[in-house]
Structure 1
Amino acid sequence: MINMRIAKENVISWKWIFALVPIILFSFSNRHSINYLEEKHKVTANIWDFILSTLNDPYLMVYYIFPLIVFISTVYINRTFDYTKLIRLGSYKNWIFTKIKQLFLMDLYFICLFFGSILLATINTPLSMEWSELAKINEQSNAVLYTLQFNFSNPFVAMVLQIALFLLTLITVQFVICILYAIYKKQLVLHLLNILLFVLGIFSFKIFPASIPPFLVIPNYLLLYHGVERFNSTIMPFVSMILILGITTLIANNIDKNRSIVRQFLTKNYSIIIYSLLCLLGIWFNVERYANGEFSIGDIFTGTFFGTTNEMFSLLSFAYYVVVFVGFVYFVQLLLQRYLSEMSFYTMIRYRSMNKWFLSWFPKILKSIIILLGSLFAITISIALFNGIPLTLSDNWFQMIYQFMVNGFLQLLFYVLLVIIVSLFTQDVFKSFIALLVLTIFMLPGFKLNNFIPVGLNSMGYLMENVSIYSISLTLVGYIVIEIIMLLILINKKDYTL
């Protein structure tokens, strides 16, 4: 039944045999390299050495196999698209999932042919279900086998996971191809995607620096050993690709809905999306920067939200602090602008007093502060765990959580109240945000004034100085009390102008 459907849809072709010739030649060339290592180290390789080294070869997979299958998928989707079939299926959603099933069968057939080509080069090699002595040799020319045997107890498991990761990546890319074709109906768009993936694969393999976040590196999703090494985790390559596949599946499920709604959502929330991505990239960058050292999760968390202190300053830490915390206050400023613009005599009649009007929306801001801090904490810990960093409690774990959650809450509350006070006093929300940006100058070296100006006091770097985090709390509470008094005076003015 499956074979008849494949034949009917022309999913596979005898012409694929010609595509196997380079794979066969490469497999025999790889066998020659392994034989050289056998003679050099006086050890014996087994069948898994030949199979896994070929399946995980970056030049073969990134420069040939992956681009070839993606190109064939593109041609197949464009050639088999038919409006009569689309009408019979009833929606683009059904068309996409039908094509994905056919492409999945195509992927399986190609992998079977690929695997058969590799087996031709393993004739007369020992068969064993254990790692060979060759795989345990730690040298640059044997990095693939050594990395795999170090992370997996059995070569068969490594092979299955390699095929699963490659299939998962192929299906995800093919999902994207189908979605783009359903939206644009142009072959040119698909070919541009092919070129982009090919160029990105080359750049991420040979040109991108090692410091680049691993989720941007194409080989990490094609080669098991590459993903395990860069992510420092055996499950992170799968988790990342499953997340992308989940997003594409969600898009495919809603592709028949009015796309103007999606555009409206993106237009309305683009600033929040950009802010969230910057926060996420900053966390990921810092975790990657510290992942290869002897650092605990607490150390990495402190380094990520280091900020500035009286004695230590880093431009990168200062910039990330401004993005995360001052960026959050920017959204509060936008919310405040909306509330002030909607305020009128009818608002006062509805709430009967400025105090009740203020309390109708201010608790939402307090909740959003708690959500922000909790999310940053959970995401940082999760990314660190995914990168294989052990969850060990440091001696100052309570101080670390207190500084981030309690002093972080108090610091953001100070910023928010400051913005509200300046906005109400000047009747200009924009001036309040400018005032906060000006205050960030007191985070720079030479301007700290021994924390007299309460800016950046939630910086995690204070844990590394002889500064009491509880005295920081008292300082922030004192300033917040002053702000509350000023706010009460402002909102209870009898001559307040609406």
Structure 2
Amino acid sequence: MRVFHSLLDEYLSWKWVIVVVILFGYVWNKRQDILVFASPLALPFNVWDFVIPMVSDAFLIIYLILPLWLFYSCKLLFREWEPTIMIRLGGYSQWVGFTLKKIFPTLLVFCLLLLGISFIGAIGVQVSDSWSALTTTEGHYMNNYTYPLYQQGLSPILALLLQVMLMMCFLVVIHVGLATLCIFSGQHQPLLVVVSTFIFVGSIISFKVFPPDWVWLHVINYTILPMTYGSFPSMLVPLGVFVLFITIMVVIITLRFTRKT
């Protein structure tokens, strides 16, 4: 209950009101674009042709969600870096898990907020539990986000859940990396801000500049499910990269803690 009240206070602040307004405006603008460009194709469309592209939108993830996450991650790490917390938890790796536990409700609520606004943006569109003709018809650009998922044999609901899971895993990995840096730098705040800025700018460069054949360096291949299936044989590839990265961070943190004790 205390966590709920804390999240409620956070999300009712003026900062999140601005975020909600931006999200809703962006989603509504995307809705209008889909309606304008899909209508001439004369193909029936449904709610999934709106919701899945919205939660998979590269610009939304890179230019809004990522910087917000970097800000909140750094803010939490700065706040929770206390000797008394370290002593109580018993080690650095436990502290990383503690910060993940602290920040995960914020991540969950934000994803639910994104989903809710996306479904609101699809109000008035046909509701169905299957793919539309717009998605299943090959040869046009209006199904760039949904056709690859249809090809994989995924249901719309499963595809949506996997997309949200992929994005959440990516953001968790970002937090673990920043927490590890926080430990090794002794919570050097300017360094964390510089690295966070580098991650944000690097993600933009990866998205806008890197050639398509640099699949391992494209951030969208680790955050957007249709792009994942277009670049890798399976979603397990980016998930395996995430697991490998976190494992390496845990090993490094454990060795550092063992050496200090």
Which residue in the other structure is 1:119 paired with? 119
Q: Aligned runs of 1:42-53 on 2, under 5 Å?
A: 42-53=42-53
Aligned with 1:144: secondary structure?
coil
| Contact kept in structure 2, 1:6 and 1:12, CA below 8 Å | no
Which residue in the other structure is 1:309 paired with? none
Which residue in the other structure is 2:29 paired with? 29
Aligned with 1:205: secondary structure?
helix
Higher relative contact order (CA closer than 8 Å, sequence separation 6+): 2
Which residue in the other structure is 1:163 paired with? 164
Which residue in the other structure is 1:220 paired with? 221
Structure 1 residue 171: deviation in Å?
0.9
CA distance change for structure 1 residues 8 and 215 in 2, over 3 Å: closer, same or farther?
Answer: same
| Contact kept in structure 2, 1:215 and 1:240, CA below 8 Å | no
Q: Aligned runs of 1:135-174 on 2, under 5 Å?
A: 135-137=135-137, 138-174=139-175
Which residue in the other structure is 2:208 paired with? 206
| Contact kept in structure 2, 1:46 and 1:127, CA below 8 Å | yes
CA distance change for structure 1 residues 11 and 221 in 2, over 3 Å: closer, same or farther?
Answer: farther
Is residue 6 of structure 2 the alignment partner of residue 4 of structure 1? no
| Contact kept in structure 1, 2:38 and 2:142, CA below 8 Å | no
CA distance change for structure 1 residues 9 and 31 in 2, over 3 Å: closer, same or farther?
Answer: closer
Which consecutive unaligned segments of at least 5 residues does structure 1 have?
Answer: 260-498
Structure 1 residue 44: deviation in Å?
2.1
CA distance change for structure 1 residues 88 and 233 in 2, over 3 Å: closer, same or farther?
Answer: closer
Q: Aligned runs of 1:434-445 on 2, under 5 Å?
A: none
Distance 2:66 2:225 in 1: 14
Per-residue CA distance 1:327-347 (angstroms, 9 max, x = gap): xxxxxxxxxxxxxxxxxxxxx
Say which is worse superposed, 56-65 or 9-18, in terms of deviation.
9-18
- Aligned AA for 1:76? L
Distance 2:81 2:23 in 1: 30
Report the TM-score, using the length of structure 2 for normalisation: 0.89
Q: Aligned runs of 1:50-449 on 2, under 5 Å?
A: 50-137=50-137, 138-184=139-185, 185-212=187-214, 214-258=215-259
Per-residue CA distance 1:409-466 (angstroms, 9 max, x = gap): xxxxxxxxxxxxxxxxxxxxxxxxxxxxxxxxxxxxxxxxxxxxxxxxxxxxxxxxxx
Aligned with 1:54: secondary structure?
helix
Distance 2:7 2:142 in 1: 43
Distance 2:183 2:27 in 1: 38
Distance 1:46 1:100 in 2: 36
- Aligned AA for 2:106? M
| Contact kept in structure 2, 1:103 and 1:174, CA below 8 Å | no
Which residue in the other structure is 2:12 paired with? 14
Structure 1 residue 132: deviation in Å?
0.6
| Contact kept in structure 2, 1:176 and 1:248, CA below 8 Å | yes
CA distance change for structure 1 residues 9 and 108 in 2, over 3 Å: closer, same or farther?
Answer: closer
Structure 1 residue 11: deviation in Å?
9.3
Distance 1:8 1:50 in 2: 32
Structure 1 residue 124: deviation in Å?
1.7
CA distance change for structure 1 residues 189 and 130 in 2, over 3 Å: closer, same or farther?
Answer: same
| Contact kept in structure 2, 1:92 and 1:256, CA below 8 Å | yes
- Aligned AA for 2:253? A
Distance 2:131 2:7 in 1: 42
| Contact kept in structure 2, 1:93 and 1:255, CA below 8 Å | no
Distance 2:240 2:88 in 1: 36
CA distance change for structure 1 residues 114 and 209 in 2, over 3 Å: closer, same or farther?
Answer: same
Distance 1:79 1:11 in 2: 17
Distance 1:192 1:11 in 2: 29
Structure 1 residue 227: deviation in Å?
1.5
Structure 1 residue 234: deviation in Å?
3.5
Distance 1:117 1:67 in 2: 19
Which residue in the other structure is 1:38 paired with? 38
Which residue in the other structure is 1:463 paired with? none
> Once the two structures are aligned, what percentage of the paired residues are identical?
25
CA distance change for structure 1 residues 8 and 43 in 2, over 3 Å: closer, same or farther?
Answer: closer
Distance 1:205 1:17 in 2: 28
Structure 1 residue 10: deviation in Å?
9.4
| Contact kept in structure 2, 1:34 and 1:45, CA below 8 Å | no
Structure 1 residue 141: deviation in Å?
4.2
- Aligned AA for 2:171? L
- Aligned AA for 1:244? F
Distance 2:11 2:59 in 1: 25
| Contact kept in structure 1, 2:80 and 2:99, CA below 8 Å | no
- Aligned AA for 1:246? T
Per-residue CA distance 1:170-216 (angstroms, 9 max, x = gap): 1111111111112211111221221121122111111111232x222
Provide the aligned length of Structure 1 versus Structure 2: 256
Per-residue CA distance 1:258-310 (angstroms, 9 max, x = gap): 27xxxxxxxxxxxxxxxxxxxxxxxxxxxxxxxxxxxxxxxxxxxxxxxxxxx
| Contact kept in structure 1, 2:76 and 2:99, CA below 8 Å | no
RMSD: 2.1
| Contact kept in structure 2, 1:62 and 1:222, CA below 8 Å | no
Distance 1:5 1:44 in 2: 43
Aligned with 1:21: secondary structure?
helix
Distance 1:129 1:205 in 2: 32
Distance 1:220 1:23 in 2: 23
Per-residue CA distance 1:98-130 (angstroms, 9 max, x = gap): 111111222111111111111221112211111
| Contact kept in structure 1, 2:7 and 2:106, CA below 8 Å | no
| Contact kept in structure 1, 2:93 and 2:250, CA below 8 Å | no
